[in-house]
Chain A
Amino acid sequence: MSARTEVELAATVNGQVRAMDAVTGATNALDWLRAQGLTGAKEGCAEGECGACAVLVARPDEQGGTRWTAINACLIPAASLDGAEVVTSEGLGTPGELHPAQREMAVRGGSQCGYCTPGFVCSMAAEYYRPDRRACDPGPERGPNGFDVHAMAGNLCRCTGYRPIQDAAFALGEVPDDDPLAARLSRPAPAPRATVLDGETAFVRPAHLSDALAALAETEGAVALAGSTDWGVEANLRHRRVPLLVALDHLPELRTFEVTPERIEIGAALTLSEIERALAGSVPLLEEMLGQFASRLIRNSATLGGNLGTGSPIGDAAPALLALGASLVLTSVRGDREIPIADYFTGYRQSVREPDELIRSVRIPLPLLPRSSFLKIAKRRFDDISSVAVAIAADLDDGVVREVRIGLGGVAATPLRAVAAEDALRGRPWDLGTVAAAATVLASEGTPIDDHRASARYRAAMLEQSLLRFHASTTEGVAS
């Protein structure tokens, strides 16, 4: 590693600057906060599932201001908070002076054992401060105050059964003008800091892509980090330790978003929440996929680069991007190259990406096929990993299948295109006969396995059903 000057790492927590001593790249933010005596955030799982560790960080919004964003402290390295502003449950209010979210939770019976509560309060506060939260007619999973229940989908409570927590969330009013955290929103988020932490597990956050690529190339075994939602699980549960972590989350080159008549290009290090906001529903298939992807807490950190970077066969982005006919831009010291996503995966958690290459962006060609559907099969409705995912995009003009692309996840060692089923559909009339025949073909694509999530038989059946369901949705308006 090249010589670097040591600058002490520090984060502002609840308004107080706290130096990070005794921190290595392997120390997660939750452990660090708790070691500071801030024991409000708890560990319930250490893998991003329970939200007991949730805290707020000040992140940039699209208008040059700040957004209070709730994230899982258990998943990110403490060092990644260098320069950040963090608010924990302790910082929101005190027993004598409760924050509105805390007050509603307390008086409505929103806490029983109280262990999940600080995390819930943080998720709730983030939604409370969401600038586009507006009083509205309560819809499904949305309160009269515009509160989206999905903001808390990444928080588990074993005691309450959730009803009082939902009532507390829906009782929150407008944010008063003199609210100190609201006042913070109009000013820019803390500027990204180029962080260097040496040691056994070193951590760097380069300011530019070229530095990141160089750092990765220089150190054998270095790992790139975007949202750290996969990495955090590796580190906490499988105790993986590496010599160097290279944080990509602030790289401007990977945080682009561009729409041209030919395509939409999405930076690989944009968080999924940022992508949702940037797309604003313009790609229905992605909107449907992202709505079922993990939880808001995870989507606030997770990226497309990380989702494709793992090469996981059960990632949700790949099937959707396959159906969209997307391609990936890979970048390295040698320059950029574009690879159709259908050619990207080569084997179980393997891809054509060279070890020193990063995903720079995802390109989605325009125009989109007009009809689409994303079917995610999981045990639980909110925040569960797919046992099978099926993404379908089609042009069904005049009742004929003009074009169709089907992306599958969870049925083979890699995500794949259901080529045979597509062939059984393409050019044929969009009627039940064609669909039923193609559904049978679809059911035999891939080589689904039995595991704790689902049986192979069920996975195959879900492939078949996905097409029948899509057909029903186009003819009867039946959604999920």
Chain B
Amino acid sequence: MSTEGNALADRPRSSVVGIEVPHESAALHVTGAALYTDDLVGRTPGVLHAWPVQVNHAHARITSISVDAALAVPGVVRVLTRADVPGINDAGVKEDEPLFPDEVCYVGHAVAWVLGESLEAARLGAEAVEVAIEPLPAIVTIEEAVEAASFQGTPRTISRGDVETGLSTARHRFGGELQIGGQEHFYLETQAALAEVDEAGQVFVQSSTQHPSETQEIVAHVLGLRSHEVTVQCLRMGGGFGGKEAQPHGLAAVAALGAVLTGRPVRLRLTRSQDMTMTGKRHPFHASWEVGFDDDARIVALRTTLTADGGWSLDLSEPVLARALCHVDNAYWIPNIELHGRIVKTNKTSQTAFRGFGGPQGMAVLEDILGRVAPALGVPADELRRRNFYRDGQSTPYGQPVRHAERITQIWDRARETSTFEQRAAGIEAFNSAHPHRKRGIAITPVKFGISFNLTAFNQAGALVLVYKDGSVLINHGGTEMGQGLHTKMLQVAATALGVPLDLVRLAPTRTDKVPNTSATAASSGTDLNGGAVQDACRQIVDRLREVAAPLLGVAPHDVVLADGRVSAAGGGAELSWYEVVAEAYMERVSLSAAGYYRTEGLHWDAVRMQGSPFKYFAYGVAVTEVDVDGFTGAYRTLRTDIVHDVGDSLSPLIDRGQVEGGFVQGAGWLTLEDLRWDASDGPARGRLATQAASTYKLPSFGEMPETFRVEFLERARESGVIYGSKAVGEPPLMLAFSVREAIRQACAAFGPVGHSVELALPSTPEAVFWALTAARQAQAAGRPAPRAEPEAHAAGSNGLLDGVPATPVPAEG
């Protein structure tokens, strides 16, 4: 086992991993030559276009759908309704997501699809479809759902120790609530599929999907076919971020159904507003919490209830909740803890995976608590955080030992040093006292993020490596490319494992008829899993080539070394080229292709008791951010961010840096800017997403990038048991962005008296920041040292210091 692990993690002397290479498609990207699913439309003759019939009601029973008027619209070819489904009418795997519903479950729910010769014809056809409905009462907010006991899925609890005693004996006790906003993925490429049927009835769907195997499975069950009759290909995605893990399936199935029924290719691409109103987002959460600290400001006990807004169907809400519960602790040791989680069912889009998969929402709770209570404990927030870090030998609330816990402190201290945190904090104090209308804040926050799918079975992957007689190499693996650079890393892994130059290896698009039964490219695990599988396939070939080369070199097979396109004896001497050995292998009838397979060892997880070791390892990182807040408006700028992140030994530094920076900015968007507003009024627009376009839903642009942005990787960080000693990097950096929100909190506090505790809505938009700093100013004007007096230690039944103060000052929906 350990030798296996080492072979996986050890890098040969000359390796192509670790080298800084641009994205494998970079030259195609920049010239517009790279093709995405919808770019194929003009290259597909006779294509039909699909347009959804969306109903603008949050909740209603459908009493009839009349398509006659639609069919009369010139250019309309067919209207797809429930009656057309030959197989299972479900867009998911949980049977709670009808593809053609009887009930409208959220505003914008698509109940039928129109196929037209042009997009315009299909749209006009959709306008002409008459849907008769009977309105039903709708649940829009988490509070309404809790009140109505509208839950779905199984509630879960993680617990350890004795929280009741912990809280009641704690020297300082606080309680409060936090509303955590959702987030739209806003992948620049909206959901798209293009389906065709060939002469043998094989259904071929090109889909912008992170999970081709599941897309295939669902297309097959909707069509009443078996998996081998459906092939799904994903060329590349224009971004995914989790939004294309479960959401593309139903759309691909609609296109496939249309293709089967009409015999013509069908293209389905959502417009931005359709995508925003129809597909799931990051789950909004509500958290209520109680926490106790001892005299040294160490956490004694924490109890929290997380309520996730799952939307109208379950989708991935259960695993998202599990990951949220597994990440409340973040990097902190909490001896007594009780984490409750539940999922409400609301009349909204079905919320889904989004980079971090619940982890960010879980972490937000404790990071928010620490930021809020630090002033009341009289300890600087950075000191409070450091004091509570995990130490070696401690384990998480779900029972997994925190391996390499020392790295948290090591990275933290390094980040403080490289960012000159101390000096800058002093400088900021001086700046703030000189500027009545502008304040700066600096904050440092950690990330500990568990890597692997919580569900053990998903942690497997396959690959196919083909070596042609001329020595060129083509690889296939089960992972999809959405910009994260997975394909680039796989090329580097294959070149390294085969000992050939990078330009000898090509990669073919992801297809279900090349590698079957793949897991979603998700949970940051794409490289770990597929890299293991690619390496396994390459090693099989290398072992065979060693047998071929050994007699030619006059050494034993295990002494044959393949490197840089040369095949030689370990001790030196004669040398053959890769080409010669490949050609010889062919002549000797030695197979030059191999299917690789990988599964992550050492995982176990009891999903009912919520105990075990679900993660192969933890990824660590720390960020230091400084912001500047305008006291007149609440607008802020991020002046500087310094990140130290643990990517193990980087496989591809340029790619990894891109993931760290991109994740950080995306996280900052979620925490401080991106604002999903659903109409919660009783008016006719109830349940409508008010921010359903790029003009109303603002994601970070250039102005949100830190003006100075420094990223450093932890050095000598080899992770044993992972492909070439690396660590996953897709999701963890998103949570480094807590440093932005905490820095804003520090800046707001500077408008108030010493010891003022700042409550900040999430997202912390300029308006939210303005109210937070206004509260601070008012406290200053009132001469109060803090918003409440001393915390009421031991106050039985009391929620203490911060309770009763609304966490979101401005609900203003509509």
List residues of A whose CB falls within 8 A of some B CB.
26, 34-42, 44-47, 49-50, 52, 88-90, 92-95, 98, 101-103, 105-118, 121, 140-141, 149-150, 152-153, 155-164, 166, 233, 237, 239, 375, 377-385, 450-458, 461-462, 465-466, 468-469, 472, 476, 478, 480
Pairwise interchain contact A114-B25, C-beta atoms closer than 8 A: yes
Pairwise interchain contact B34-A114, C-beta atoms closer than 8 A: yes
CA distance A188 to B99 in the complex (A): 56
The stretch among B162-170, B184-192, B326-334 that forms the contact with chain A is: B184-192
Q: Chain B 678-692 against A: per-residue CB contact (8 Å), 1 yes, 0 no?
A: 000000000000110
- Complex partner residue of B814 from A39, A162, A451, CB under 8 angstroms: A451
B413 within 8 A of A: no
B483 within 8 A of A: yes
CA distance A271 to B239 in the complex (A): 33
Q: Contacts A42-B238, A469-B632 hold; do A49 and B29 have CB atoms under 8 A apart?
A: no
Q: Which residue of B lies closest to A472 (CB)?
A: B437
Pairwise interchain contact A109-B657, C-beta atoms closer than 8 A: yes
Pairwise interchain contact B812-A450, C-beta atoms closer than 8 A: yes
CA distance A40 to B27 in the complex (A): 12
A110 shortest CB reach to chain B, Å: 8
B273 within 8 A of A: yes
Pairwise interchain contact B31-A161, C-beta atoms closer than 8 A: no
Pairwise interchain contact B701-A383, C-beta atoms closer than 8 A: yes
- Complex partner residue of B32 from A26, A88, A163, A466, CB under 8 angstroms: A88
Q: Contacts A102-B31, A377-B766, A379-B766 hold; do A111 and B704 have CB atoms under 8 A apart?
A: no
Q: Contacts A115-B188, A379-B765, A478-B437 hold; do A95 and B699 have CB atoms under 8 A apart?
A: no
CA distance A446 to B136 in the complex (A): 38
CA distance A54 to B658 in the complex (A): 23
- On chain A, the residues within 8 Å of B31 by CB distance are 40, 89-90, 92-95, 98, 102, 118
- Complex partner residue of B637 from A46, A377, A381, CB under 8 angstroms: A381
B432 shortest CB reach to chain A, Å: 14
Chain B contact residues: over half helix, strand or loop, or mixed?
A: loop
CA distance A468 to B28 in the complex (A): 52
> Can you list 14 A-B pairs with a CB-CB distance of less than 8 A?
A44-B190, A46-B271, A50-B694, A90-B33, A93-B30, A95-B33, A109-B654, A111-B30, A116-B238, A117-B32, A153-B702, A159-B658, A451-B812, A478-B438
CA distance A381 to B814 in the complex (A): 23
Pairwise interchain contact B661-A163, C-beta atoms closer than 8 A: yes
Q: Contacts A44-B188, A112-B485, A381-B704 hold; do A95 and B28 have CB atoms under 8 A apart?
A: yes
CA distance A40 to B186 in the complex (A): 19
A117 shortest CB reach to chain B, Å: 4
CA distance A94 to B36 in the complex (A): 18
Pairwise interchain contact B655-A98, C-beta atoms closer than 8 A: no
B38 shortest CB reach to chain A, Å: 8
Pairwise interchain contact A39-B32, C-beta atoms closer than 8 A: yes
| Chain B positions 17-75 with a Cβ under 8 Å from a chain A Cβ | 22-23, 25-36, 39, 42-43
- On chain B, the residues within 8 Å of A159 by CB distance are 188, 239, 483, 658, 662
Q: Chain B 186-204 against A: per-residue CB contact (8 Å), 1 yes, 0 no?
A: 1111100000000000000
Q: Chain B 305-329 against A: per-residue CB contact (8 Å), 1 yes, 0 no?
A: 0000000000000000000000000
Pairwise interchain contact A114-B236, C-beta atoms closer than 8 A: yes
Pairwise interchain contact A45-B32, C-beta atoms closer than 8 A: no
| Chain B positions 585-623 with a Cβ under 8 Å from a chain A Cβ | none
Pairwise interchain contact A113-B237, C-beta atoms closer than 8 A: yes
B100 within 8 A of A: no
B507 shortest CB reach to chain A, Å: 15
Q: Contacts A39-B32, A115-B239, A458-B767 hold; do A380 and B698 have CB atoms under 8 A apart?
A: yes
- Known pairs A111-B30, A112-B23, A159-B188 / 5 extra A-B pairs, C-beta < 8 Å: A105-B29, A156-B188, A164-B661, A384-B698, A472-B632
B482 within 8 A of A: yes
- On chain B, the residues within 8 Å of A480 by CB distance are 630, 632-633, 635
CA distance A118 to B704 in the complex (A): 22
- Complex partner residue of A156 from B655, B691, B701, B707, CB under 8 angstroms: B701
A413 shortest CB reach to chain B, Å: 17
CA distance A42 to B635 in the complex (A): 32
- Complex partner residue of A111 from B29, B694, B695, CB under 8 angstroms: B29
B489 within 8 A of A: no
- On chain A, the residues within 8 Å of B29 by CB distance are 105-106, 111, 114, 117-118
B742 within 8 A of A: no
- On chain A, the residues within 8 Å of B32 by CB distance are 38-41, 88-90, 117-118, 121
- Complex partner residue of B239 from A46, A158, A163, A462, CB under 8 angstroms: A158
Q: Which residue of B lies closest to A454 (CB)?
A: B767
CA distance A469 to B770 in the complex (A): 14
- On chain B, the residues within 8 Å of A90 by CB distance are 31-33
- On chain B, the residues within 8 Å of A49 by CB distance are 693-695
Pairwise interchain contact B438-A237, C-beta atoms closer than 8 A: no
Pairwise interchain contact B272-A46, C-beta atoms closer than 8 A: yes
B304 shortest CB reach to chain A, Å: 29
B705 within 8 A of A: yes
- On chain B, the residues within 8 Å of A166 by CB distance are 702, 705
Q: Contacts A106-B27, A112-B23, A452-B814 hold; do A458 and B770 have CB atoms under 8 A apart?
A: yes
CA distance A468 to B703 in the complex (A): 25
Q: Which residue of A lies closest to B690 (CB)?
A: A452
Pairwise interchain contact A455-B767, C-beta atoms closer than 8 A: yes
Pairwise interchain contact A45-B694, C-beta atoms closer than 8 A: yes
Pairwise interchain contact A152-B437, C-beta atoms closer than 8 A: no
B709 within 8 A of A: yes
Residue in B22, B237, B666, B677 with the greatest tally of chain A CB atoms within 10 Å: B22
CA distance A291 to B695 in the complex (A): 18
Q: Contacts A115-B238, A239-B123 hold; do A109 and B28 have CB atoms under 8 A apart?
A: no
CA distance A25 to B704 in the complex (A): 38
- Complex partner residue of A113 from B238, B677, B766, CB under 8 angstroms: B238
Pairwise interchain contact B30-A105, C-beta atoms closer than 8 A: yes
Pairwise interchain contact B766-A47, C-beta atoms closer than 8 A: no
Pairwise interchain contact A382-B33, C-beta atoms closer than 8 A: no
| Chain B positions 757-790 with a Cβ under 8 Å from a chain A Cβ | 765-767, 770-771, 774
- On chain A, the residues within 8 Å of B691 by CB distance are 452
B241 within 8 A of A: yes
CA distance A158 to B241 in the complex (A): 9
Pairwise interchain contact B696-A453, C-beta atoms closer than 8 A: yes
B549 within 8 A of A: no
- On chain B, the residues within 8 Å of A47 by CB distance are 272, 693-695
- On chain B, the residues within 8 Å of A52 by CB distance are 188
CA distance A196 to B27 in the complex (A): 39
- On chain A, the residues within 8 Å of B23 by CB distance are 106, 109, 111-112, 114
B673 within 8 A of A: yes
- On chain A, the residues within 8 Å of B28 by CB distance are 95, 114
Q: Contacts A161-B661, A380-B698 hold; do A106 and B666 have CB atoms under 8 A apart?
A: no
Residue in B120, B702, B767 with the greatest tally of chain A CB atoms within 10 Å: B702
Pairwise interchain contact A465-B30, C-beta atoms closer than 8 A: no
CA distance A116 to B120 in the complex (A): 25
Residue in A98, A155, A461 with the greatest tally of chain B CB atoms within 10 Å: A461
- Which 10 A/B pairs are nearest by Cβ-Cβ distance? A40-B32, A113-B483, A115-B238, A114-B29, A161-B665, A381-B703, A49-B694, A112-B483, A89-B32, A102-B30
CA distance A202 to B438 in the complex (A): 54
B484 within 8 A of A: yes
Q: Contacts A163-B705, A450-B814, A469-B437 hold; do A158 and B30 have CB atoms under 8 A apart?
A: no
- On chain A, the residues within 8 Å of B237 by CB distance are 113
- On chain A, the residues within 8 Å of B665 by CB distance are 160-162
A389 shortest CB reach to chain B, Å: 12
